[in-house]
A and B are shown apart, each in its own frame.
Chain A
């Protein structure tokens, strides 16, 4: 008996430790439970780098991390998932749009010299571009002011505004779209007028932004290059200085700005290694460009493949609901166990509570981020934990019916049930393993909680239930078979 008191003390100490640990360490909830955005990006191979291995993905991750930090979003987490994917999690109510933009662009900065002999062509193209841009910005202003007008007569205007804005006035929409397409075509054509890149962002040392001197609203982005970059920049400016040819600044193959270089630089080019980009940026756009440039260019392009956003109140609602489900499920199971198995049933309920406590403590310890499927896995593992107890108690009943002594029945019951408990738990663990290693996202969370639950239920069913039962058996008052076998069956079997 002393042996079991020792075990009992051990289980008790473990429970207290788990309780204290849980109080000190809060559980981590996934974004689906507390709200926030999750963005998954896929890293794509290129002609140069045909295989995405762990080294490459770490490089991509490092670049993206710098960019994300530049955004200044608190508590965001960037993780690699599988071989070729990265997941960014932004908790709380945050607009995922700007984060997606940071991911979506590779921010490859290039300086290119204008091809010789295309001056007239380029001049016409640039003229056309500014005309189209003027029309488009005028149109934008009209739409904008139209909205303001309708906002004043809020209730009446809402429906009409929607109709106007989204298609009833088809002529305007078509024209705008035509203009947009035209602008794209012109820009493509302009790109053709420049030579291949002589200087790229890889020689960039730093990027900063400042308001432009000439007018109040626009910003420019200042760049400085390293020694090699400075030399290349001097070469490049020397090439076009005083020739009427322009220096194009490209971001991701799109021209942002064209600059002329004065004849005074013909001898040595612009030395010192600094330049500025001005492209009618707003403060916000300048900041994003700065972040993208400072983050360095990605070794490989990334594509946003999934975005999940859950509002914060929806998240809280999810927690409340799954908690209610878990608790009422446990309550039902407890009532059932006590009515079906009496004393051992009550012991099983205690063991089950311990099981829940240990489980939560393990979640906090590892830590496991609890998601909605994770909670489902947990609830399901409760069912399996009860199964182990039922198997044992049924075997104890069998032994009692064959008129074994109580203590022997308990021991034999545990022994006999062991192999099927083991088989059941192991087969479930095999499924969990398959889900964990080959599944993705949600599926993984479920596998982790179910797997941990299965392992812990092995421990609680085989150790806690047994220890508690044996400990209680040291009180003679409880040592009666009627506490184990429901009355009717006992009376017939003793008759």
Chain B
């Protein structure tokens, strides 16, 4: 079928990239990205307010989030965040089932969509207490659109549970994928896929850690979903390249590994770029048209696809060369 000479002759017609000759640059880029990311994660951890690798959102810490849409057909009056937080501070809450009453002295108020959307972050409130807050805020910021509000209440223990289950599913997925690859390929491939995976996850976490430090961005359970998806995607991508390398080494075992790596990467380059493109397209439409709920989820996936593609065409195959003496 494919003999060495015809492969060489056809190399002209496809994308060609000599990964091996630029492997040091690849390692430098990846290492610095990982270092910067780890730094962000560490700073988050040291931050007395965040005190976690990432700024954890409502889903994980518990609390009540109220989203209100103002009815601006009758012209929306100018609204200041301070006015609303002052109003909230003065609310006397109805008693809930379990005393003590939640303290409302540090509400987080955000105005979105040029003041049309109000986002309140409060400690865990009962349904009646949440209603009391809405009624009080309505007096200063209303009227609100009927049916345009959402209230999320997560108890603190439930939040911890969510965090725990997210971490467990992440580790189980990683373990499962590693087992699968070491079974289908070899332990070396599995190890490298895991390195690529750790690289991707660290960088994505790093991006969100920095965003948490700089823009108070919080991660929720959708972020855990995104991480897992990125993991699946990254491994998928890496495996395709590895599959190609393995096939070539089986067909022409007399050639040095570095040649196989270069060829396999070149041959799968078009595919990887196309696939990243076709995956990014729906994700980008999700970013632009998907609405607020899925916005950061889609953004994290966009970053994940980009980093995942990099690690599978550049990092993972170039690391394969560590097992091979190089003479250049």
Contacts and interface: CB of A to CB of B under 8 A. Distances in A.
Contacts of A435: 169, 173, 225, 228
Nearest to B275: A387
Interface string A243-275: 000000000000000000000000000000000
A372 interface: yes
Nearest to B167: A438
A89 to B, nearest CB: 15
Nearest to B287: A325
Contacts of B150: 308-311, 314
Contact of B136 (A40, A96, A162, A493): A162
Contact of B147 (A313, A321, A404, A416): A313
Contact of A390 (B97, B148, B173, B274): B274
Nearest to B1: A402
A228 interface: no
A481 interface: no
Best-buried of B1, B165, B270 by chain A (most CB within 10 Å): B165
Contact of A162 (B139, B166, B283): B139
Nearest to A38: B152
Main secondary structure of the interface of A (DSSP, over half): helix
Given A326-B282, A438-B168, A450 B293 contact: no
Interface in B270-292: 270-271, 274-275, 277-286, 288-291
Q: How large is the interface on B (under 10, 10 to 19, 20 to 34, 35 or more residues)?
A: 35 or more
Interface string B224-240: 11001101110111011
A458 interface: no
Interface in A362-409: 372-373, 376, 379-380, 382-384, 386-387, 390-391, 394, 398, 401-404
9 contacts: A163-B90, A167-B91, A324-B289, A330-B282, A373-B225, A412-B1, A428-B236, A437-B172, A439-B169
Given A325-B290, A439-B224, A492-B13, 14 more contacts: A40-B158, A314-B148, A322-B291, A329-B286, A333-B282, A337-B278, A376-B298, A383-B281, A391-B271, A402-B6, A402-B10, A427-B236, A428-B232, A493-B10
Interface of B: 1-2, 6-7, 10, 12-14, 67, 69, 87, 89-92, 95, 97, 126-128, 130-131, 136, 139-140, 145-155, 157-158, 161-162, 165-166, 168-170, 172-173, 176-177, 180-181, 184, 221-222, 224-225, 228-229, 231-233, 235-237, 239-240, 243-244, 247, 267-268, 270-271, 274-275, 277-286, 288-291, 293-294, 297-298, 301
Interface of A: 32, 35, 40, 42, 93, 95-97, 100, 104-105, 158-159, 161-163, 165-168, 173, 177, 180, 303-314, 317-318, 321-322, 324-326, 328-330, 332-333, 336-337, 340, 372-373, 376, 379-380, 382-384, 386-387, 390-391, 394, 398, 401-404, 412, 416, 419-420, 423-428, 430-435, 437-443, 446, 450, 489, 492-493
